[in-house]
Amino acid sequence: MTASEPNATSKARTLIEALPYIRKFSGKTVVIKYGGHAMVDENLKENFALDIILMKYVGINPVIVHGGGPQISNIMNRMGIESTFVEGQRVTDDETMSVVEMVLVGTVNKDIVGLINRLGGKAVGLSGRDGDLIQADRMKIYKYTGDERPPEIIDIGRVGRVGRVNVKILKALEDAGFIPVIAPVGVGPEGQAYNINADLVAGAVAGRLKAEKLILLTDVPGVIKDEELIRSMTIDESKTLIEKGIAKGGMIPKLKACLKALGQGVSKAHIVDGGKEHAILLELFTDAGVGTQILTQACDVQHTP
C-alpha cells in the first residue's frame, strides 16, 4: 500500500457517507443565509462559492440570501454616520437606507455573483425590488413597560418585515439552472426601499419555497446556553430562549427566522459557524453535522438523512 492510499480510502469513505444525504436532498431547495466572517475572509469566500457550486452539480437547488452588516457599518463610519441597533435591527433613516442599498445591491451582491460565476457556477443577483421579489412593510418593535401599561412602540425607521415573496422568479431561475443570490432590500407599497434583516428574509424565502432546509451562517458555533453549544433544539425551546432573554442581539432574528421557516413547512433549520471551512457541506453531508439544528419536535441530535 502506498502512502497516498489511506488518504484516498478516507476520501472514498467520506463520499459514501455523503451518498444518502445527496440522494435525499437531490431536487430539493436549500436556502442559505450568507453572512459574518465567511463574507470577509478570502479563503472562506472561495470555499463558500465552491460549496454552493457542488450543491448545484449534485442536484440540490441552493438559494442564497446574503447580509453585509460589517460592510455597511464600515462605509457609514467613513461617512461619519453613527450606527444604532435595536434587538439586532439596524435603525435606518433615509440617509442610512441609501448606504444600505448602495452597499448590499451595488457591491456585496455583485461580488458574490461574480465569484460563483468565475468558479464555474451560474448565479444571478437580485434585490427584493427586482420584480417585487420581496414585498415589505414597516417593522414595529414593541417594548414591554409593565403589566398595566401599553407597550412602547420603538421607531427604527425604514426597517421592513417581509410581507410577500414572489417565488415565481426564484423557481424560474432554479428551473433554468441558475443560483439566485438575493440582497435583503424589500419594496414597500409606494415603491420605497426597506432594509430587512437578512436572517428574516432567508427564513421567509425558505418558508415560501417550502425548502428542505434553512442554513444560517454566522460567526459563532451555534446557539449557546450556559457556555455550551446546543446541538439540537425544538421550536418551543427556541421560543423560551427568546422570551427569557437568553438569546440576545443578533441571535434573536436568527431564531425568529428559523421559527418562521419551520412554521411554514421547512423540515429543519440550522445555525452554523461560517468560519469553519466548508461548513455547508459538513452540515448537509455528514452524520455529525455542525452547529445547532432546530426541529419541530425533539429527536436524536445525530443528523440523519
Give the type of residue at 147. Answer: D
Dmax (CA) for the chain in angstroms is 77
Q: Tell me how far apart the terminal alpha carbons of the chain are, to the nearest angstrom.
A: 34
For residue 162, the tally of other CB atoms under 10 A from its CB is 26
Which structural domains are found in the chain, ordered by start?
31-295 (3.40.1160.10)
Alpha carbon 109 to chain centroid, angstroms? 14
Give, for all 305 residues of the chain, the pLDDT tens digit.
Answer: 454 555 777 778 878 888 898 999 999 999 999 988 889 889 999 999 999 999 999 999 999 999 998 899 999 999 999 888 887 788 999 999 999 999 999 999 999 999 999 999 999 999 999 999 999 999 888 766 666 666 767 888 899 999 999 999 999 999 999 999 999 999 999 999 999 999 999 999 999 999 999 999 988 888 888 888 888 888 998 998 888 888 887 888 889 999 989 999 998 999 998 888 899 998 888 876 788 999 886 554 445 54
Q: Decide: 288 and 304 in contact? Cβ < 8 Å.
A: no
**Which residues face 135 on adjacent strands?**
164, 187
CB 38, CB 44: distance < 8 Å: yes
Which grid cell is 248? 440576545
